[in-house]
Amino acid sequence: MLAVKVLTGKSTIFGREICLMGSSFGISLVADELAWADERIDNAIAEINRVEKLLSTFTGDSQLNQINRNAGIKPVHVDAEIFRLVDRALQISELTYGTFDITYSLTQETAGEEKSGKPSKSKANLTNYKNVVLDAASQTVYLKNKDMRIGFGAISRGYAADRAKYILQMQGVSSGVINAGGDLLSWGLQPDNTPWTIATADPSQAGQPYADINISNMAVATSFNKQAAIAKKGTRNIHPANGFQVSKIKSVSIITQGAELADAMATPVIAMGVNAGLYLINKLNQMACIIVDDHSRIYTSNSISLMA
């Protein structure tokens, strides 16, 4: 739990690694004093814990559980923070043609999974983001079908990182990195006044061809294709919606300004495949991607150029 001090020239980076939200979180910041840095890191951790509790399904009276319990019954009034999260999630679903979706179906087979807080991956056709109704005037969320549920597992870690960064900046931390289970969020400059790169933000990525990409004031989220090993044995990856074969992507890294958005966009690109994924990212402002296929070939969006 103690902060670790790393000297770089005349400046100092203080960091701490801790298990939060079921993942390893590394919080590093540039500061002059250990005690000052340690207090700021404590505050960032407190904010991450707050977000975890806010979005958890383990708390019986949580707003998320209230929304789910009233599916098909009535709209539920929620705090502005939850309302905005749902609203942004629905916008991302629209952007990705439904490939990203915070909704899932509750059936007899998945009832036990809901109790464990793990959304089922199988969804009835009637259960999708278009059946979530928001009313901005009354600030309510309504799920049209009784077997619908929503969960924030796909974006909770990124949202927590964004919130922790906000807390640190508000308390005067002008430069730092949050490593949320391998997803990176950085701001400011390194102690030697050079930009943060993927390698400096996460030394474990130093051997990657894209390790030197500038990510200062950006977020990087990486999603791995869990079906890659199966594909190597001859099984095709099939798009869950249209049934067409999907390119054999091994991993996708999304680079954009916020960790929540980066987190949300990484997995849909895997489902879309190389060509459709790149086409989508190239249409968006302030977003880039790096795709690695099962032959370790690298594809990048137009905004990224890798040196040969």
pLDDT (tens digit per residue) in 36-50? 999 999 999 999 999
Residue with tokens 């590093």: 28
Which CATH fold would you assign to the domain 63-150? T-fold (1.10.3980)
Note the pLDDT of residue 200. Answer: 93
Helix (H/G/I), strand (E/B), else coil: 148: strand
Of 29-33, 114-118, 200-204, least confident by mean pLDDT is: 114-118
Note the pLDDT of residue 4. Answer: 47
**Is residue 7 very low, low, confident or very high in pLDDT (cuts 50, 70, 90)?**
very low
Same fold, 63-150 and 219-300: no
Of 73-87, 116-130, 228-242, least confident by mean pLDDT is: 228-242
**Is residue 241 very low, low, confident or very high in pLDDT (cuts 50, 70, 90)?**
low
User: Is the pLDDT score of 60 beyond 80?
Assistant: no
Cα angle 127, 224, 202 (rounded to 5 degrees) comes to: 125
The pTM assigned to this predicted structure is: 0.85
Instruction: For residue range 178-194, list pLDDT tens digits in order.
Output: 999 999 999 999 999 99
Q: Are strands 298-300 and 287-293 parallel, antiparallel or unpaired?
A: antiparallel
Superfamily (CATH) of domain 219-300: ApbE-like domains (3.10.520.10)
Domain ranges of the chain: 4-55+156-205, 63-150, 219-300
**Is residue 295 very low, low, confident or very high in pLDDT (cuts 50, 70, 90)?**
confident
Q: How many residues does the chain have?
A: 308
Exposure letters 166-204 (e unless 16+ CB within 10 A, then b): ebbeeeebebbbbbbbbbbbbbbbbbeeebbbbbbbbee
Instruction: For residue range 261-274, list pLDDT tens digits in order.
Output: 999 999 999 999 99
- List C-alpha distances in Å: 59 to 56, 62, 64, 76, 213: 6, 5, 9, 17, 40
What's the mean pLDDT when you consider all of the chain?
Answer: 86
**% the chain with pLDDT above 90:** 71
Cβ pair 129, 102 in contact under 8 A: yes
Spatial separation of the C-alpha atoms in residues 38 and 294, rounded to whole Å: 42
